Amino acid sequence: MRFINPKTDYAFKKIFGSAESKDILISFLNALIYDGNATIEDLELINPNLPPKVEGLKDTYLDVKAQLKNGTLVIIEMQVLNVQSFGKRVLFNAAKTYAFQLQKGEGYRMLKPVIALTLTDFEMFPGRHQFASRFVYREVSDGYVYTENDIELIFVELPKFTKDIEELETITDKWIYFIKSARSLDQVPTNMDDIPELHRAFEIANQANLTLEELEDLERREMFIYDQQGAVALGRQEGRQEGRITEARALVLRLLNKRFPDNTAELNSLVEGLSLSALEELSDAMFELNNWEDLLTLLADINQ
């Protein structure tokens, strides 16, 4: 058996973001948010990529978005590349999700809590040893928790999770191991197969159940991620910002040319002159594009 990489956006959404996998998402969220307790009984999946309600405001690109039975909104993002200002993006997405719950004329009492669960394939907080971190609003001097603490940020840093298969004890351990290591496995570990939702997740991730088109799309995405990681590492090693920009621009153009082969000349002019942060933002949202108009809208949004 071979499994797709849950860390890619396409695979993550396929495993956790479809109506057929609602039980999988419930188990996953209970494990990572509620320490394995069966707190979430039911939830509703919501379109994670909604256009802004205010003209000129940036679009939001998430992997999975759900509303729990008690009204709490959970937004989930799996991030492989350590792009510039990623932490600010997490906070922006959480704040936007919270603020845009209300329709005209509705009172603030209608607002429901928002939990932003972010998994990173890089160290978000260097020097901090715990792989999971939770942030809420607290008073600076004595740590008193703000009464209306409706926005909570949860981070899981995969590189800091170092348990081997035989060391997995909790359901939280097993879900994190699945995300981090499923791509390298050739069978379902026996100590993980006793959880029905995890078994189903492995079934969905089994390459044998995918079409050739799906496998080719996944391969392109993984290759792009590896190329981007290599470009960032090369830029850091050389210590030259211009080198990183050149590499990033070349990689973005290469992938865009595959997606839009009839627009090569236009692509060169559109990408030329973009900053490194803009190129990283473009690459991060690229696979959400369905057509040429989506690309133009995204570039306009980035250039604001």
Domain coordinates in residue numbering, the chain: 9-209, 212-302
What is the reported pLDDT for 246?
Answer: 78
Report pLDDT digits (tens) over 94-115.
Answer: 999 999 998 888 899 999 999 9
Predicted pLDDT of residue 236: 52
Position 55 scores a pLDDT of 46
The answer, yes or no, to whether residue 54 has pLDDT greater than 50, is: no
Listed residue (4, 49, 1) closest to 294, CA to CA: 49
Name residues whose C-beta falls within 8 Å of residue 6's C-beta, 6 or more positions apart in sequence.
Answer: 12, 15, 78, 178, 179, 182, 183, 201, 205
pLDDT tens digit string along 187-235?
A: 999 999 999 999 999 999 998 787 787 777 777 777 766 666 655 555 5
57 has a pLDDT exceeding 50: no
Question: What torsion do the CA atoms of 116, 120, 126, 131 make, to the nearest 10 degrees?
Answer: 80
Strands 151-157 and 132-135: antiparallel
Full DSSP string of the chain: --B--TTSHHHHHHHHSSGGGHHHHHHHHHHHHSTT------EEEE-S-PPPSSTTPPP---SEEEEETTS-EEEEEEE-S--TTHHHHHHHHHHHHHHTTPPTT--GGG---EEEEEEESS-SSTT---SEEEE--B-TTT-PBPTT--EEEEEEEGGG----GGG--SHHHHHHHHHHHGGG-SS--TTTTTSHHHHHHHHHHBGGGS-HHHHHHHHHHHHHHHHHHHHHHHHHHHT-HHHHHHHHHHHHHHHHHHH-GGGHHHHHHHHTT--HHHHHHHHHHGGG--SHHHHHHHHHHHT-
The token duo for 61 is 């690109």
% of residues, the chain, pLDDT over 90: 50
The Cα–Cα gap between 33 and 240 comes to: 40
Q: How far apart are CA 60 and CA 154, in angstroms?
A: 18
- pLDDT per position as a tens digit, 148-178: 999 999 999 999 999 999 999 999 999 999 9
CA angle 74, 149, 43 (to 5 degrees): 25
User: Rounded to an integer, what is the distance from CA 20 to the centroid of its chain?
Assistant: 20
Please report, rounded to a whole number, the percentage of residues in the chain having pLDDT higher than 70: 87
